[in-house]
Structure 1
Amino acid sequence: MADERALVAGAQAGDERAFRALVDPYRGVLEVHAYRMLGSRHDAEDVVQETLLRAWRALDRFERRASVSTWLYRICTNACLDEIERRPRRGEPLAVDPFPDALLERAVGVAPIVDPAARYAAREGMELALLTAIQRLPGRQRAVLILRDVLGWTGPEVAELLETTVAAVNGALQRARATVESVVPARSSRDIRRAADRELLNKYISAWERNDIDALVALLRDDAVLSMPPQRALHGAAAIREFWLSYTCSLGQPTALKALPAWSNGAPAVAFFRPDGTPHVLLVLAEGSPLTKMYAFPVADLHPFLQRT
């Protein structure tokens, strides 16, 4: 804290190096926060840059007794709300981008301590189904849900950040929970399922390498869903099997693509590369064993998602 106060004093005196030393440790958590709010890694990166620019311009108004992290969260949240307001109104929310687990793990070290009772803290608020549901919410409801139920902030803390009343925060939280949990009921921590997730991932890659479509389909529940934004989702193991067969026929055989283990949004994933080594697609094995939900994303750079040995 003494070092932080010294950096604040230096930054307020116009020292850009002190400012960078002050805010750089928070870049990761701010990017995760903006990603949860916006569902887009690209937009989150842009918002973090805007946040730091606003912070630099507002340094003279920062009170040194306040927490730097809380101050930056306030600026970042408001920048996210501005971005949401700029987006055109759509009937359906934008598809959520995948987020590499490795980037999330780097941010955890400087993340604020959360209330263990926070509804989604155990899942780190990063599961794709949860984030997709959050994108259905109005901006301020998103902020309230994330701050209260993911980060574990108190009602008065959120009210102060959003410059509103505790009653307004509680009302927004109640409406947000009703919307989200009608789509994504609260579940147990993914940590409990981590070993099962690894086993599922190994089975999937093994079946792919053996060119065994039947073994791949055996990993699915009958009502499994394969989401492929922006294309229409496939519903049911039979439809997914038919798609896989037609897809692998166009490739020649499954092993035409190299499959490597990866992790995204707290879930096992498969990173597929073309024979020339260029990225093809990221398949997130998001829910269940047997699988009930998968997401396929065209990703320009798959390496951040790859499983670290």
Structure 2
Amino acid sequence: MSAVTSETTERSETSEREFQALVEPYRRVLEIHCYRMLGSRHDAEDLVQETLLRAWRSFGGFEGRAAVSTWLYRIATNACLDEIARRPRRAEPVVGPYPDALVAGAGAGAAAPIADPEARYALREGLELALLTAIQRLPGRQRAVLILRDVLGWSGPEVADLLETSVPAVNGALQRARATIDTAVPAASARTVHRDADRALLAQYVDAWERHDIITLVALLRDDAVLSMPPRPSITGAAAIGAFFASGCGGAGRLRARPGAANGRPALLLFEPDGMPHRLLVLEVANDRQSIAIIRAYAEPRLADFAV
């Protein structure tokens, strides 16, 4: 190997190490950002890889005039917008779950996003499933504007700079996005999280599930509770859900249940008797904190990530 080749190789390796040290602290917050944009943890992971690939290709031109976080959010947002443009529009979007443990891991250190107090949605509330489902109904740029302004608390000029547009265009997109969200998402009080009460209710639910106690399972549901199981039709009403569980279709008593958490909500991790993952049930607790209003069921292969 010539001296020139050796020096070039050393420089390349040094640049790669510098790049990894620079971007690695932001990997999780970028994943959460892409998840909010796309509604899928799997897609978010792919888009983070695409983001980091694009960042590496442009690393030589990064001179540090912008903050690292701004640079990476710009690349990630544009990568997500490209992905949204390639996708066919769904009449009814399906949003997958995201583990609370991974959100907690992203909430510390210099890479943690800082939300402006004026942001409409707190960072954790920005992962609420009803909100995310409504966001998926928005056109791509409206999604980006709403998330950057109302979840992350960026200013209008900052978002305009990221999207290479004008502040009036950002304000117009934000107004249209908010109108859609305000129509689709329940009042903020319905999204308030009471962790102690929710954990107590979850413990009762896990216990009743393990004992195949259908009467208690039904008693823990609000009368108009909904069991959502996309792409299958939802089941509405506590009695109907109880009949579904009693028929053996739900797996109560056969499947092993463990407590978990997803998207700021209590969750039930269901495993086959041999330990294989079966399903994740995310519980939407009613305002009285004593009953369950919605059960969202997901086929989730990485159940262990949701454990608490």
Fold-level similarity (TM above 0.5): yes
**Offset, 1:131:** 0.8
Counterpart of 2:256 in structure 1 is 258
Does the CA-based 8 Å contact 1:116-1:122 persist in structure 2? no
Counterpart of 1:285 in structure 2 is 283
Q: Quick one: structure 1 residues 207 and 56, their matched pair in 2 at CA, closer, same or farther if it must change by over 3 Å?
A: same
Counterpart of 1:48 in structure 2 is 48
Counterpart of 2:96 in structure 1 is 97
Consecutive unaligned residues of structure 1, counting only runs of 5 or more, are 1-9
Counterpart of 2:31 in structure 1 is 31
| Secondary structure class of the residue paired with 1:29 | helix
Amino acid at match of 1:17: R
- Matched residues in 2 for 1:189 and 1:247: separation? 32
Identity of aligned residues (%): 65
**Offset, 1:141:** 0.6
- Matched residues in 2 for 1:64 and 1:158: separation? 19
Counterpart of 2:266 in structure 1 is 268
- Matched residues in 1 for 2:62 and 2:43: separation? 26
- Matched residues in 2 for 1:189 and 1:159: separation? 32
Counterpart of 2:180 in structure 1 is 179
Does the CA-based 8 Å contact 1:119-1:186 persist in structure 2? no
**Offset, 1:122:** 5.4
**Offset, 1:191:** 6.8
- Matched residues in 2 for 1:161 and 1:13: separation? 30
**Offset, 1:58:** 1.2
Consecutive unaligned residues of structure 2, counting only runs of 5 or more, are 1-9
- Matched residues in 2 for 1:106 and 1:267: separation? 17
Amino acid at match of 1:101: D
**Offset, 1:43:** 0.7
- Matched residues in 2 for 1:11 and 1:181: separation? 52
Q: Deviations over 1:58-101 (max 9, x none)?
A: 123323121000100000000000000111233222x1111111
| Secondary structure class of the residue paired with 1:170 | helix
TM-score (norm 2): 0.90
- Matched residues in 2 for 1:189 and 1:213: separation? 27
- Matched residues in 2 for 1:141 and 1:225: separation? 30
Counterpart of 2:140 in structure 1 is 139
**Offset, 1:187:** 1.4
Aligned-residue CA RMSD (Å): 2.0
- Matched residues in 2 for 1:165 and 1:32: separation? 26
Q: Deviations over 1:178-210 (max 9, x none)?
A: 111211134149675111111110110111122
Does the CA-based 8 Å contact 2:208-2:214 persist in structure 1? yes
The alignment of Structure 1 onto Structure 2 pairs a total of residues equal to 294
Moved more, 278-287 or 260-269: 278-287
Q: Quick one: structure 1 residues 302 and 13, their matched pair in 2 at CA, closer, same or farther if it must change by over 3 Å?
A: closer
